[in-house]
Amino acid sequence: MHDDRVSARPSLPPLPPLVIVHADDALVAVDKPAGLLSVPGRGADKADCAVSRIQAQFPEAQTVHRLDMATSGLLLFARGATMQRAISVMFESREVHKHYEAVVHGLVEQDLGEIDLPLLADWPQRPRQKVDRLQGKPSLTRYRVLHRDTAARATRLALQPLTGRTHQLRVHLLAIGHPIVGDALYAPAEIPTVTRLMLHATRLELRHPLTSQALALTSRPAF
């Protein structure tokens, strides 16, 4: 999931500090708050980001993947160039398994399902993405219903993107008629009381690049 880097953050209270979930000789994992960029955007007002914050404590930390600015949860950094190359290859070869939770509009009927829809950048409406069955890149998301709130007409889902396209989860859920609650980019007619995107990276599973042992990192959503 890549950063949208759409606009400057409005005048809101300061974002909470990064919480370090795991740190060792190869990598650092943090719990990124919603509203914080993963990497710097264009302009001095977008210099504050997860990688600059973590480099204040771990100067050798390098980016290996990103979360959208609006998405909270687990974000992984490599310690040094050698580890960056090793972990980046793991992401590219889909050896890192990513899991998310989201609250979506409407009551999702099937308890389990897959969304297999190719995605392409919607250049006239950047940074939006769109489903394009002719030119889009293959994109696959698995979902599982965790809870249906009939009163609020909303569903909590566990999500696993099998591919890593920009805004994949947001566009896939929109495409099946269940946009994520709080998604101002793809569902602008939002309930006014919702102030954030209800999407959180809850779990990362990978083989440790130094020990080859299985490593599972977890984070609970605040919503």
Question: Which are the catalytic amino acids?
Answer: 68
Q: Angle 61-220-73 (CA atoms, 0-180°, nearest 5)? A: 35
**130-110-140-90 Cα dihedral, nearest 10 degrees:** 130
Cβ partners under 8 Å of residue 188, min gap 6: none
The whole-angstrom separation of Cα 90 and Cα 86 is 7
CB atoms within 10 A of CB 42: 9
CB distance 201 to 73 below 8 Å: yes
